[in-house]
Amino acid sequence: MTYEQYIEETNANCMKVLSDCSAGELLDLEHLRKILWEDDRVTGVMSGYCTSVNGDASENIEDVLFDENFLADFNEREMNMQEVMAYGADAIDVVARCLALKHISILELVENEQKRRIEKSRQMRRNSARV
């Protein structure tokens, strides 16, 4: 996967996690940042493994290792590639997902989730009015 694909997949995974959050949780951005960071569906940081629809970690990291945007973010964090790679493909995959969070607006995702819930509520009311 390219870094852009990591960002897109991480964005979609964030939306899945937000759909499981309560309305109150959606109001606390710092709490949401922690949830998204720790949820294995988003980063894999807790287990060291994240399930991907695009394949396994060794397939996913082939393109990202040479992506200049990924490398810029990686180097900005002053990480050592050799140390991370010593933990295998899953470690690089997790790092790419964690770095991808930097490019995702949690506030925008929350707004989209709130709109989705409002629309779902409207649909339910329309359907119940027809019955």
DSSP string across 24-55: TGGG-HHHHHHHHHH-TTTT-TTTT----TT-
* Pairwise pLDDT comparison (97 vs 130), residue with the higher score: 97
Helix 89-100 × helix 57-64 angle, to 10°: 60
75: containing domain: 3-130
Per residue in 77-117, pLDDT (tens digit) is 999 999 999 999 999 999 999 999 999 999 999 999 999 99
Determine the pLDDT at residue 53: 61
pTM: 0.86
DSSP assigned state of 21: S
Indicate if the pLDDT at residue 131 is higher than 90.
no
**Closest among 118, 98, 120, 125 to 13, alpha carbons compared:** 98
Determine the pLDDT at residue 70: 97
Per residue in 5-48, pLDDT (tens digit) is 999 999 999 999 999 999 999 999 999 999 999 998 999 888 76
Number of domains in the chain: 1
- Give the pLDDT band (50/70/90) at residue 52: low
